[in-house]
Amino acid sequence: MEGRMTYGETIARLLDAAGPAAPAATEGPAHACGAGVLQKEQSQRPPIDAVALRYALERNEINAHFQPQFDLQTDQVCGVEALARWHHPHFGPVAPEQFVPLAEANGLIADLTRTIMSQALQEAVTATAAGHALSVSLNLSPMLLESPELSEELGSVAQQHGVPAGRITFEITERAMLPELAVALGALTRLRLRGFGLSLDDYGTGRSSLRQLTRIPFSEIKIDRSLVHGAHQHQEQRARLRAAIQIADELGVRTVAEGVEDFRDRQLIRHYGCARAQGWLFKAALSGTELMEWLAAYNGRHPAG
């Protein structure tokens, strides 16, 4: 029998299985993205800046919404991913793809992360009280890994809300450039030692620089929708998807597929042994109030066996 691989080998093989960098998928059901579409999207972006963002954070205009995650074996809701939503009083909704980079570039990302984490953990407490024990996934900007106090700060937010670290997973995208390896490794290892889960987000969009991540003890990989969406129709994509799930499985790293929009892709990932999934086929992100109503109705229809 083949010996157990180290985390370094795991991640190196995962990165290899994903192949070369894939173009970032666009939001929404239509994936067409010609120059004209891009120009139109950019011109439709509201003219927000760091001052507006700081003001929005102070006035609680930015809120956590929650996309349910499903156990593919049982169809039970097992967790939620918290996603930041900003509804500007004049411009309406502002996309995270616009304001998250703005927060990163203007020293506001720690504030944004704290806001979303606090709201998400508050919601987890409410859900638990109503009988829905959910895990919570939070997006963590790679930039924050440079802060030596990160794990202590996140640990104390979890403690303030009374949510055990084991129910919280931080997702770190492989799309972005990471800080220097030693720095990132230190921060991530400290988070893991505190008992938090760590997820390699957007897996399959990898840049070669992220090969440096090979020593990080991930507990989960989150397979990007560019590998998942339409896999039932494309043989090469299917092979890469299957390889990723197999390797993660071999190493005891949980797999979550994101961007599941089609029941045939869902059948495929379940057949390949993927543990969890999220996507518009199941449910898009909901506000806290909507989530509680939806959970009650869903769990009523799908009682735990």
Q: Which residues bind ligand C2E (CB under 6 A)?
A: 27, 67, 83-84, 95-97, 100, 113, 116, 139, 141, 171, 173, 201-202, 225, 258-261, 279-280, 285
Please say which residue, 141 or 237, places its beta carbon nearer to ligand C2E: 141
Nearest distance, CB of residue 224 and Ca ion, angstroms: 6
Distance CA 273, CA 135 (A): 20
220 binds, among ligand C2E, Ca ion, none (CB under 5 to 8 A by kind): none
Distance CA 7, CA 88 (A): 43
Nearest distance, CB of residue 171 and ligand C2E, angstroms: 6
221 binds, among ligand C2E, Ca ion, none (CB under 5 to 8 A by kind): none
262 binds, among ligand C2E, Ca ion, none (CB under 5 to 8 A by kind): none
Tokens of 245: 């799930």
For 245, phi then psi, to 5°, come to -65, -40
Q: Quick one: angle between helices 235-250 and 263-272, nearest 10?
A: 40
Q: If DSSP codes are grouped into helix, strand and coil, which group holds residue 243?
A: helix
Nearest distance, CB of residue 160 and ligand C2E, angstroms: 18
For 94, phi then psi, to 5°, come to -115, 130
Determine the residue type at 133.
A
279 binds, among Ca ion, ligand C2E, none (CB under 5 to 8 A by kind): ligand C2E
Residue from the set 123, 202, 220, 262 that interacts with Ca ion by CB under 5 A = 202
Please say which residue, 100 or 231, places its beta carbon nearer to ligand C2E: 100
Distance CA 271, CA 197 (A): 25
Tokens of 84: 């930041």
Interface pattern 40-79 for Ca ion (x via CB under 5 A): ----------------------------------------
96 binds, among Ca ion, ligand C2E, none (CB under 5 to 8 A by kind): ligand C2E
Neighbours of 289 (CB within 10 A): 10
220 binds Ca ion, rule: CB under 5 A: no
141 binds, among ligand C2E, Ca ion, none (CB under 5 to 8 A by kind): ligand C2E
Residues 127-186 close enough to bind Ca ion by CB under 5 A: 139, 171
Q: What is the DSSP letter of 201?
A: E
Neighbours of 126 (CB within 10 A): 14
Distance CA 185, CA 195 (A): 15
Q: Could you list the residues that contact Ca ion (CB under 5 A)?
A: 139, 171, 201-202
